[in-house]
């Protein structure tokens, strides 16, 4: 977790801690709202009901556990984000691109 995040409470279940870490890694401080939006977008492709921010907050408080669907989408988001970040980094550090940015 980044320096800006609060440390997990000692009594937080591991899935809550992990969910918070994933959300913050993906979206920063507004992660609950953004994650709900992204999950709803993915859920719409399957004809499922929207996932609102209140549901994500219940997951964060440990009231409910995220569904398997939510974990799959979160995993896909993390994988695609990491892949895209690597692609951008590789593009940035290619010599011709690097040179053109510093002229």
How many domains does the chain contain in total? 1
Asked, for residue 88, whether it belongs to a domain, the answer is yes
Q: Rounded to an integer, what is the distance from CA 33 to the centroid of its chain?
A: 11
11-69 per-position pLDDT tens digit: 889 999 999 999 999 999 999 999 999 999 999 998 889 999 999 999 999 999 999 99
pTM of the model: 0.75
Asked, for residue 61, whether it belongs to a domain, the answer is yes
Q: Classify residue 88 as exposed, middle or buried by CB count within 10 Å of its CB (0-12, 13-18, 19+).
A: exposed
- Assess contact for 13 and 59: CB atoms under 8 A: no
Asked, for residue 79, whether it belongs to a domain, the answer is yes
Query: Tokens standing for 29?
Result: 């401080």
Asked, for residue 92, whether it belongs to a domain, the answer is yes
Closest alpha carbon to 8 in 62, 75, 69: 62
Asked, for residue 81, whether it belongs to a domain, the answer is yes
77: domain range?
A: 14-101
Asked, for residue 5, whether it belongs to a domain, the answer is no
Asked, for residue 8, whether it belongs to a domain, the answer is no
Asked, for residue 1, whether it belongs to a domain, the answer is no
DSSP E strand boundaries for the chain: none
């Amino acid at each position: 977790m980044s320096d800006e995040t609060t440390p997990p409470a000692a009594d937080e279940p591991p899935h809550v801690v992990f969910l918070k870490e994933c959300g913050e890694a993906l979206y920063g401080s507004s992660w609950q709202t953004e994650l709900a939006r992204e999950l709803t977008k993915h859920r719409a492709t399957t004809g499922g009901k929207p996932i609102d921010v209140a549901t994500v907050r219940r997951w964060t408080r440990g009231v409910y556990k995220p569904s398997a669907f939510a974990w799959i989408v979160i995993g896909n988001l993390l994988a695609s984000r990491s892949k895209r970040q690597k692609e951008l980094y590789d593009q940035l550090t290619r010599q011709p691109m690097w040179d053109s940015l510093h002229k």
